[in-house]
Structure 1
Amino acid sequence: MATLIDWLKNINHRFWWIIGGLTVLFIASLIFVTHNAMFYQQPIAQIVKITDETQTEVADEHQNQDIVYTQHIVAKLKNGVQKGKALTLTNEYSESRAYHPKLTVGQDVFVSVDSNDSGQLKGDITDVKRDQALLIVSWIFIMVLLAVGKKQGLYAMISLAVNAVIITLAIDMYIATSNISLLLIMSGAVILITVLSLVFISGFQAQTYAAAVSTLLGTFVLLFITMFVLWLTDEQGIRFEEMAFLSRPPQAIFMAGVLIGALGAVMDIGVSMSTSLFSLYEQNNAISNKDLKASGIEIGKDIMGAMTNILFFAYVSGTIPSLLLYLMNDATVGFTFSMNLSLELTRALAGGIGIVLTIPIGLYTTIYFIHRKRVKA
């Protein structure tokens, strides 16, 4: 017991100040999102009672069976001129929960309000208010990131927020100015994201420059290779039908997705190569370029397979619902896979090319910067 007390006393007081501050922020933000209905223009109602729930078995022409539940709900408005008044709602959800969720007492929902001939309020549910759940998940992510990464975790969190803002602004710019290609806008965003992320996390040092150069070279080389292959094959086998609802050229949008999707994996390879080789140099300044190359190749072999698999599963996993939807409605396997996997597999293959190419690019780029550091030393 005494040992535990001594250990707690020796912990930096700043650590406890940070933990205390984050705890206060968490509680304050949770209270805010629980009582922030006044800041929404759309009516919000809290479910106070579920009066009845019926169920009906249904089946479609392909004999896919499901159960549809109908909930009759009494809710109380939390904002607007009719705040505090009760209204009746109806919610339908299926056993599969494919569209509407099952609602419970105490949940907040977005509604559209109407009144009947007797003056009683009724309405329709448009969406579920999920900011509490999103806040809790976000705080868990922040706490884990700070606990594991500490100061670097904080930098990574800020960098992630900045990158999200950059991508959002890039998309808004494309929507506002339709005469500029999305691929061109995203190319600028990729350069900005790479430089800001690496400099912010690692600072202005030689290994940061090596990682940034190798990341940008690997990303744009894979982009040009993908564009060349699609041009050479006249885009045969690529199904752009899933983007048919867009009023913009799907090819440019697809290539912009390839660029952004591969950036994370390529950046990870570039950073891993740069950090590992510079660590070897710092431990032994007399290490030869031959040994650095041999070590870099081994490092690349170790991370190449894992990163390629991660990229493949990340892309393909998003198509599972669409695959099930097609197959359950008697679509053929060939048609289902060609419609849903052609774009995702192309993105995964393009990212894999970028990962493989970034290994030698990162290797020789890092050795170049190490050589410069040797000369200055």
Structure 2
Amino acid sequence: MNLKKYCYRLSKGKLVMFTFLIILFIGSIIFVNNNDRFYNRSIVEVTSIAQVDEREVVDQRQNRDIVFRQYLTGVVKNGPFKGQSIQLSNEYSQSRAYHPELSVGHAVFVGIEEQENGALFGEITEIKRDQVLVLVGWLFIFTLLIVGRKQGLFAIISLVLNTVIIVYTIHQFAATANAELLLLMSFAVVVITILSIFFVSGFHVRTYAAILSTLIGTFALLGIAIAVLELTGEQGLRFEEMAFLSRPPHAIFMAGVLIGALGAVMDIGVSMASSLFALYEQNNQISVKALIESGREIGKDIMGTMTNILFFAYVSGTIPSLLLYFLNGAPLGFTLSMNLSLEITRALAGSIGIVLTIPIGLVTTILMIEWKRRKL
């Protein structure tokens, strides 16, 4: 009878949660399709496409492209000109390098000018994408909940909190003249690590082991990276992409190294702690030697894949820049130096953190297991 009541309560709780999510989903879709009044910028919905012209262009390197110009008619959806018709033009290339091709029904942000005869003309600044973003966001949420269930929910909460913490930290750095970004980000890393692992793993001894492993490994790699850059005088690093910032690029780069490596190091710390504690829970009498051997095998299995993931994640973002340099005839060495020096350095620093966290996680977890044994 008690089992039936428990199953009934569990099913009822899932039904309430599912209903709540569906209501949120429908409400968010309705909102993003009717939220024009909340924007300060003018929004225009494309109602018709009058004409499309095209021309072929060739640059100095004989790269060919086709440029299209659309002549559009739209209706203003918000602001003082709401409901009025407006004439627009949209220029885009076949390569879609800058602006996208517009279709009837697309909503765009527009800078509006009123002519002397009362006619409205405008310049398109960007396309309104919140509908697509909301759909993709809900797809991510539902996938995570279906696969991870309760842990998926905690992962979503953790992700939201981590995003808020990072954005707030960067905002505080930008708003404060003498703020130290590396110090602020170090504090943020501690908070993010504790919250993320507690949300995912709960309040267990293995959670404490994972938190300690992650923090020790992350700050160890930061110390090694700082020491290496000091000894080499930062030779070979190209900070030109940060030239427009009014702050020292070194601190900003190191903060990026710290945050970029945190995810991989955290994964190693959690994997080591969870795996070794699972072995201990199956056999409370397992020897330290057996745990060490198991930890080494686990480390070997995940070290190579995590290093590759980190490398590909950093380098993939530079593909458009590499193509841009190569298509314009830039030398190979110069192109790689300009686009990959910082990314390769970040990947190497993260890889060092991964390698360090394996023995650190192994030792920390075994110490926690021995402490738990003595406590029992």
* Alignment partner, residue 361 of structure 2: 362
The aligned counterpart of 1:149 is 148
What residue in structure 2 maps to residue 5 of structure 1? none
Quote the offset at 1:10 in angstroms: 12
> In structure 1, what is the Cα distance between the partners aligned to 2:373 and 2:78?
67
Structure-to-structure mapping, 1:1-377, within 5 angstroms? 12-377=11-376
1:236 deviates by 0.9
Aligned-residue offset at 1:22: 1.8
Q: When the two structures are superposed, what TM-score results if normalisation uses the length of structure 2?
A: 0.96
Deviates most, 16-25 or 114-123: 16-25
Q: Alpha-carbon deviations, 1:327-358, whole Å to 9, x = none? A: 11110011000100000000000000000000
Query: 1:160-211 CA distances to partner (integer Å, 9 max, x unpaired)?
Result: 0000000011001101112121111100000010011112222222101000
**3-state secondary structure, aligned to 1:12:** helix
Residues 239-263 of structure 1 show CA distances to partners (whole Å, capped at 9, x for unaligned) of 1111111111000000000000000
TM-score by length of 1: 0.96
Q: What residue ranges of structure 1 are gaps of 5+ in the alignment?
A: 1-8
Aligned residues between the structures: 369
Distance in 2 (CA, whole Å) between partners of 1:70 and 1:82 is 25
- Distance in 2 between the 1:272 and 1:201 partners? 12
How far has the Cα of 1:81 moved from its partner? 1.7
Q: Which runs of 5+ in 2 are unaligned?
A: 1-7
Query: Quick one: distance in 1 between partners of 2:161 and 2:15?
Result: 27
Structure 1 pair 11–183 and aligned structure 2 pair: CA distance change class (3 A): closer
Q: Which moved more, 1:279-288 or 1:193-202?
A: 193-202
CA distance in 2, matches of 1:225, 1:117: 66
Aligned-partner Cα distance in 2 for 1:37–1:56 = 35
Residue identity opposite 1:148 in structure 2: V
Percent identity over the alignment is 61
User: 4+ runs of 1 displaced by more than 6 Å?
Assistant: none
| Residue identity opposite 1:79 in structure 2 | N
Give the letter aligned to residue 136 of structure 1. L
CA RMSD of aligned residues (A): 1.3
Equivalents in 2 of 1:337, 1:78: separation in Å? 46
The amino acid that maps onto 2:267 is D
Structure 1 equivalent of residue 3 of structure 2: none
Shift in Å, 1:11: 9.2
Paired AA for residue 211 in structure 1: A
Structure-1 separation of matches of 2:159 and 2:24: 20
Cα distance in 2 between the residues matched to 1:60 and 1:244: 27
